[in-house]
Structure 1
């Protein structure tokens, strides 16, 4: 009887524990995959892009790096986009660092360095809004790669899926061999990530880099005719994984 009471009380205690005690504990595999934040700043008409760039690179970036971020890169959109946009790519080693980095006012150096920027009056603000997307790196490429020497063209591609399962299968396709084919054919990746917060979900986003548009066109052609890719794309498990593709060409600032 005592043993039965012990079992019941143990089960009840376990049921009372929050779900985060078990189900939401991050695995070692998850901890090892980076998080990527992509910020898109939409410039206010007539505002100084250089002033915003200076704030981002000289004030915000050092603060985020002190808090544990591992990469901070700025890009401009090729072509005449209206309004002008600035893209920031930030990598974090894990979710703890990402959450810590949201509390910039805990960094005294940031507060001091950002004082002039934060004192701008409403009529002199530099951007209308900025949007953020958060991505979790793929198993097949858990860390960001450095761009190739001389890279001047960056391609940001988003693959939308008609369902969560479609995106899951496309991610599996990348992990099971498509990333390797990219590397063999000169599609130089910077990162691959599953969108966990942001627009167009369910989707995935990745970035490639090239020396110029000529290399871009030649290497995409090489990829398309690669025999391993020809074989892989016909597999039934990877059918109907992408319903729409969005791409943006960027250059480093």
Structure 2
């Protein structure tokens, strides 16, 4: 009798364990966000007018349509011509196309944007806008909003010599590097696989630090980390990055990110 009770109890424990595993596997995963990054190359005197449009017209309209995470950044160093970078965070891939369509027919936005859209050609605000569209990584499906305090942002783009090289680098981040970043104080804002952009194939990510001193110290920690040294020697990740572009940004006073 005792043996039968033990077997029954063991069976129930086994079923419970299986149920836990199945529940974990079937638990809904966080939907991956979509990131649209626009870089405006401004004409002399265009910064104030563009900022007025973003702050008073575009951002309120995007907020109404469900895009609440928006970052606006200026480049550290004040290069000429000046540039302004706009990051729009869409909750999902479907939302991206839906919101882009809705904005075209949003009466409040259309009216508020009249002055901006009717800018005379001899008073153009910018020379060009370059943009990229990104899908969040599996290992970090949603953007981490930094604290509202003085800080710098580091925006990095890794190009690969072909699509498989970028795929392997993304796998490296998902499987190992994101964890090592977190451990060594490389404060992640987002990781994005670039779907459309000017430097394809590539990936882009953003980090944040309180200042350059913290940035330099924590990158040194990362470089010396034994886990990083081990994973960086793995043959499956060899030759994944052919070129790195890096720029430093500072958020505007009205930036959410």
TM-score normalised by L of structure 1: 0.85
Task: Tell me which stretches of 4 or more aligned residues in structure 1 moved more than 6 Å.
Answer: 28-31
Distance 1:29 1:35 in 2: 18
Do 1:67 and 1:97's aligned partners in 2 also have CA atoms closer than 8 Å?
no
Report what 2:64 is aligned to. 66
Do 1:69 and 1:98's aligned partners in 2 also have CA atoms closer than 8 Å?
no
Do 2:133 and 2:194's aligned partners in 1 also have CA atoms closer than 8 Å?
yes
Q: Does 1:152 align with 2:137?
A: no
Report what 1:226 is aligned to. 225
Cα offset, 1:70, TM superposition? 3.4
Moved more, 222-231 or 104-113: 104-113
Moved more, 197-206 or 64-73: 64-73
Do 2:194 and 2:202's aligned partners in 1 also have CA atoms closer than 8 Å?
yes
Moved more, 49-58 or 196-205: 49-58
Cα offset, 1:74, TM superposition? 0.4
Moved more, 140-149 or 92-101: 92-101
Any unmatched runs of 5+ in structure 1? 1-27
Any unmatched runs of 5+ in structure 2? 1-26, 253-257
Encode CA deviations 1:107-146: one digit per residue, 9 max, x unaligned.
1110121122222211112111111100010000000001
Structure 1 counterpart SS, 2:203? strand
Q: Does 1:164 align with 2:144?
A: no
Report what 1:216 is aligned to. 215
Two-structure CA RMSD over aligned residues (Å): 1.7
Structure 2 counterpart SS, 1:91? strand
Count residues in correspondence: 225
Encode CA deviations 1:205-252: one digit per residue, 9 max, x unaligned.
000000000000000000000111111111111111111110010011
TM-score normalised by L of structure 2: 0.83
Cα distance change of structure 1 residues 220 and 148 upon mapping to structure 2, 3 Å threshold: farther
Structure 2 counterpart SS, 1:102? helix
Matches for 1:45-84 after TM superposition, within 5 Å: 46-84=44-82
